[in-house]
Chains A and B, each alone.
Chain A
Amino acid sequence: MMQNKRVPGLIRDPAASQYCGQQEKTDVTIQPVISAKSLDLTFQTGDGPVHALRDVSLDINRGDFVSFIGPSGCGKTTFLRVMADLEQPTAGQITVNGTSPEEARRARAYGYVFQAAGLYPWRTIGGNIRLPLEIMGYDRADQDARVKRVMELVELGGFEKKYPWQLSGGMQQRASIARALAFDADILLMDEPFGALDEIVRDHLNEQLLKLWDRTNKTICFVTHSIPEAVYLSTKIVVMSPRPGRITDVIDSPLPRARPLEIRDSPEFIEIAHRVRDGLRAGHAYDD
């Protein structure tokens, strides 16, 4: 919409144009997929207001793999939920694909992976992955083809007829990722998807996720509280800290796109991990 050159400014959302305006004059391809400006979000609770987000600004470009890392209460999940239109900011602006999060959600612009796989126990794995396709009204043949394709993408081929309880936790989480991929959203929002899994399974899934990102060229926002996971996966690491939830550091990773697991022993990897750790410590200083 924003890139409509013939009738500039006519069909634009005024709030969005406010700060996307300058970018229109430059190259449209570098317009961020997600752009947050001075986001505030305050929850009113019985114990008084909780500042989940304070003055959060961030641009995420197409094809980025962005990790959000920080201790609990730093607002990383809240930020992700704001992108997904599951929470409403109390101040500031955010655009997703150049539109409001609500419009992006209605346009099914993103797939969301929750911490728990949340598969329906009464549906087979195939049936679970089919769920968004049924809701979005894809025809039966298209559904079949898509389910088959994404199941292969997450290496679950042959498990279509199995029920969730017949699969391990890691496989269930892979199925939930396949479910988020099935309808070809460009953006993948992942909220600690591997948080409940053991180290070995997590390593394996991290590797698979990188391959998948490389193949599909999606923009991925990934919430985690594991430093190695954040450094291993990301092109951009956003360090956050709590009370109020805010961004304390944004690190652009110099690591190449192709990342074997061994890269974690390289000096560059260790250096970035150090910087993340320092950022986390700085955010926590007043606690000690």
Chain B
Amino acid sequence: MRNALPILTVLAVILGVWYAAVAPMNIRVALDQAQRGGAELVPATALERQEVSVWALMLRNPVQIGETYAMDRPRLPTPGQVATELWNTTADMALNGRAMSKRSLIYHGWITLQSTLWGFALGTALGVLGAVAIVYSRVVDMSLMPWAIISQTVPIVALAPMIIVLSSQLGITDRTVPKAIISAYLCYFPVLVGMVKGLRSPAHAQLDLLKTYNASGFQAFLKLRLPASVPYLFTSLKVGIAAALVGTIVGELPTGAISGLGARILIGDQFGTPLAIWAALVAAAILAGALVTLLDLAQRITLKRMGMQA
């Protein structure tokens, strides 16, 4: 509860700025609509209004400011409108037994979640295995690490269509697979970096101690390096799962996918329904928040059971 106040304060500031931004963002469109409705405006035509700043338009047409907060297709919807849209496409549909309808964000969220989790599992496995190889082999350290860094400098939007084209050449028709690969591509890196740091975290004296026991390399890995890396692993996993979700959504954008949160964002853009885009964005954020929170909980439980949290 102690943490609630600062969080709520930040939330209130964000909502305040958001509401304040709605009027200037929507005033031109609102005035265009009012003009069609026959209202008296200053200046009178859209062409003339192009020359005037949004602030001046708001000052000269105060009556229309109210309309900017209640538009069907706003440039920037209010948080309330986004919340309503989100409610209508999730909980409301679920209550009516249509949770898995193609119009429901629960359905699209589920599609995205599946690819995210597959990508996360694949990326984590690759990251952990890569880290072990890097820590135990100087050759791999010298050869793999630079490529791992370079891999993250390639824009994923450029890579995603290629992965999808190539995987369809291999006869993979299930869209989950290429999306999971893109997602794993983003997710493995933080896990790799974190695990390398974690596996290397034991102090020199700790390794000397195991040497005095004449412990084998495998015993040193199992009894020292691996448990020492657990806190690092969880920190990386939290970054990794967020990256995996971004990867999946990016994988859904340029590929003509028709389901998934990324597809909803694209379709909302093509059909000019900003509310749908915003609802999908917020749904993605909530999904990411839930996944990170779950991992945080797993971290707390694991570390507590390991006796590492005071």
| Contact of B209 with A118 in the complex, beta carbons under 8 Å | yes
Interface residues on A, range: 20 to 34
A163 CB within 8 Å of chain B: yes
**New A-B pairs, 16, CB < 8 Å, besides A120-B224, A122-B306:** A86-B208, A105-B212, A112-B208, A114-B208, A114-B209, A115-B205, A116-B203, A118-B205, A118-B209, A121-B308, A122-B308, A131-B213, A134-B223, A135-B223, A163-B307, A183-B213
| Contact of A110 with B307 in the complex, beta carbons under 8 Å | no
| Contact of B227 with A105 in the complex, beta carbons under 8 Å | no
Q: Which of A84, A108, A131, A136 counts the most B-chain CB atoms under 10 A from its CB?
A: A131
B60 CB within 8 Å of chain A: no
B211 CB within 8 Å of chain A: yes
Interface of A is mostly: loop
| Contact of B214 with A114 in the complex, beta carbons under 8 Å | no
B306 partner residues in chain A, CB cutoff 8 A:
122
The docked-state distance in angstroms from the alpha carbon of A111 to that of B310 is 30
B230 CB within 8 Å of chain A: yes
* B267-296 interface with A by 8 A CB criterion: none
| Contact of A112 with B308 in the complex, beta carbons under 8 Å | no
B211 partner residues in chain A, CB cutoff 8 A:
85-86, 105
Chain B: how many interface residues by the 8 Å CB criterion?
Answer: 21
A42 CB within 8 Å of chain B: no
The docked-state distance in angstroms from the alpha carbon of A276 to that of B290 is 66
Give me the interface of B with A, judged by CB distance under 8 Å. 203, 205-206, 208-215, 219, 223-224, 227-228, 230, 306-308, 310
| Contact of A106 with B212 in the complex, beta carbons under 8 Å | no
The docked-state distance in angstroms from the alpha carbon of A86 to that of B209 is 10
20 interchain pairs, CB-CB under 8 A: A84-B212, A86-B208, A86-B212, A106-B214, A108-B214, A114-B209, A116-B203, A118-B206, A122-B230, A122-B306, A122-B307, A123-B307, A131-B213, A134-B223, A135-B210, A135-B213, A135-B215, A135-B223, A136-B214, A183-B213
> Distance in Å from the Cβ of A238 to the closest Cβ of chain B?
21
Give me the interface of A with B, judged by CB distance under 8 Å. 84-86, 105-106, 108, 110-112, 114-116, 118, 120-124, 131-132, 134-136, 163, 165, 183
Name the contact of A132 in the complex, choosing from B208, B213, B310 (C-beta under 8 A).
Answer: B213
The docked-state distance in angstroms from the alpha carbon of A123 to that of B210 is 15
Name the contact of A108 in the complex, choosing from B205, B206, B213, B228 (C-beta under 8 A).
Answer: B213
